Amino acid sequence: MTTIEFFLAGTMSAATVFLLAALGELIAEKSGMLNLGVEGMMAVSAAAGFVATYETGSHLIGFAVAGFAGIIVSLVYATVAITFLANQVATGLAVGILGLGLSALIGRKHESLTVASAGNVHIPMLSDIPLLGPVLFQHNIVVYLTLATAVAIGYCLKYTRLGLAIRSVGENPHAAQALGYSVPLIRYGAVVFGGLFAGFAGAYASTIYTPLWADGMIAGRGWIAVALVVFGTWKTGRIILGAYLFGMVSLGELIAQSLGAAVPSQLLSSLPYIVTIVVLAIISTNAARLKLHAPFALGESYDGSESR
């Protein structure tokens, strides 16, 4: 590959980690649940997925175990925040910290070990096109499935009854309950879906994108995924674009090194987080737009008292 081909192809791969986690968080937030524990869920799943893949040699089993781990951690968050009506921000932060600790424990015996990366799919004829072939048509199947899922989620939220139910619960849970929707059930399902996709994101990070285990390897990607939902103003298409932007930025260090640029590696490593802060600051200056697209009941607990 040329440098430009490597950069563009790497962007698609790097963006998949962000996009998977952001899609799960989008569904959770659309239901009114502000889940700040995504980083911990990804970390636990990355460790569990890596261990499963290493011990079995199967990436499919690794993803299944990682998804299950993400669901278990998300249920902890959902139980505390939905059933016991705890503050969603505090609960998410606590679950995130718990997840980071559990990931270190799970992966302790596999520190610095590697697994064979899953092979890429070479689409016949298309993969041979100069520039476009290596960039678009020679990736792992997870890259393509993630994009397809993103389109499906966008369609579901906008055009289906399930999407209407999720959006209704996030906008006005009391009205949704009056219409016959079970607010706790829908919110549980949305949070579990978010945990599942955080699990897939963690598995992709540790078994495909960087097929090794190292404590702390998620390195803030979960927080960027949460920021992506705000960056995309809760719109699927914009979240996809944002994921690819952050995927591109995350490769800055490798590209600078390949070009021999004399830029401190510490600065390049922090570039995705600097961009996150700058972008959120710019978006936050337009409060009207944020309020227009943000779920009205985002972060609010619901006890059903007004529906009884």
Rounded to whole angstroms, what are the CA distances from 236 to 63, 145, 146, 205? Answer: 23, 15, 12, 21
pLDDT, tens only, 158-214: 999 999 999 999 999 999 999 999 999 999 999 999 999 999 999 999 999 999 999
Q: What are the helix (H) ranges across the chain?
A: 3-30, 38-56, 59-78, 88-106, 132-136, 141-159, 161-171, 173-178, 183-204, 221-231, 236-250, 252-259, 265-269, 271-284, 287-293
Domain locations in the chain as residue ranges = 3-113+129-303
pLDDT tens digits, 43-95: 999 999 999 999 999 999 999 999 999 999 999 999 999 999 999 999 999 99
Query: Does the pLDDT value for residue 253 go beyond 70?
Result: no
**Which tokens is 254 given?**
């490798």
Q: What angle do CA 114, 115, 119 make, to 5 degrees?
A: 135
* Nearby residues of 287 by Cβ (< 8 Å), 6 or more positions away: none
- 218 alpha-carbon distance from chain centroid: 11
Give me the chain's average pLDDT, please.
Answer: 90
SS3 122: strand
Lowest mean pLDDT among 55-64, 147-156, 200-209, 283-292: 283-292
Q: Which of 3-12, 154-163, 292-301 has the lowest mean pLDDT?
A: 3-12
Percent of the chain at pLDDT exceeding 70 = 92
CATH topology of domain 3-113+129-303: ABC transporter involved in vitamin B12 uptake, BtuC (1.10.3470)
Would you mind telling me the total number of residues written for the chain in this entry? 308
pLDDT of residue 307: 46
